[in-house]
Structure 1
Amino acid sequence: MSVSSAVPDYIVVGAGSSGCVLAAELTTDPTRTVLLIEGGGSDRSFLVDMPRGLAKLLEPGSRYVQDYDVRRGGNRGTERWMKGRVIGGSSSVNGMIYARGFPADYDRWAALGCSGWGWSDMVRHFKAIEDHELGETDERGVNGPLRVSGHPTDAAGGALCEAVIEAAAQAGTPRVADTNAAPDGGIAYQARTIWRGKR
């Protein structure tokens, strides 16, 4: 659609994670027109696709990020923060860790008055977006648009990871298959938004 030839039904500013999802959902109705505006460029780069491209994407001066100083308050000085400035926003430059939070956190929000944010409400939304390689359970989804995989246990550093997991188990933190499906916590290899070696 050309901006000059038609007035869109919706304008979405920012093609980050939520902006892209919102625009995609709005366009499921073919009668709607959506203008999606993004200040950054295309995400069509091997650096975005390749998980180890992360280091290059986050270099100072990278065209894929907007960096700025944030004041922490008091006498604590400033920190340098970076946000994705590319189609996909920060989801195109992040560490690809998939962590949903604990059910108790969502239930606490609901108890504080945020109706619709309890775990029983939210888990169905998580399941709807997931395509988890560990398969479907009451806590995990399949066939959604977001591919979720586990960290390969035979990767470099595997012996060190196993030692840390074993030490945590000896200290009383149970080993679990999926930290996102462990309501009481636990330790495991981190779920990731990497599929077949790509972001």
Structure 2
Amino acid sequence: MTTATLLEPKDEPDIGKLGMWVFLASEVLFFGGLFLAYLYGRTHWPQGWAAGSRHADVVLGTVNTALLLTSSAVVALAVACEEDAKQRRWTARLLALTAVLGATFLAVKGFEWHAEWDEHLFPGPSFALAVPGAQEFFALYFVMTGLHAVHMIVGVAVLAVLARGRSRDRAWARARHLEAAALYWHFVDVVWIFLYPLLYLVQRHG
């Protein structure tokens, strides 16, 4: 009997989680470049950055922050339930709930984008704010929130598929895959935690 035969699935190296960490490290570098661009803009056009931030909908931004914080807690609970045989029946439901919270976030963000379009806050010839730097702020705002939304869509799809697979007790919807998906989801949430104050809370008292 070979060593490979003796190796139980639980003893296999968790390549999926390692791969996810490598992927997230590359994502940190990617978003890091955007944050540097943000820092450049804020130091060169402070008044435009403040004016742009005051026109972002802080109420909807706060609602979305609450949705993502809740979703992070729910997906962590799903992973904990998966590790406990007595509570495993809740895993699929909690994963589905996380996906629903993520979809709600996207719906709120879509409503916010639509309102900003109607208010002529999308960069272009008809941009509403005459303050220097405000248009650059919204250009970066739409790039950063748009890329974050793309990551959210991927996360919602993955969690929905895992929820369905776990409800049918599929072999591919096992704990290590759930942990990798949860790790990705936490990363997406952390990115938003940085975006929220940077985009919505710049000198709002001014």
TM-score relative to the length of structure 1: 0.29
Structure (1 or 2) with the greater strand fraction: 1
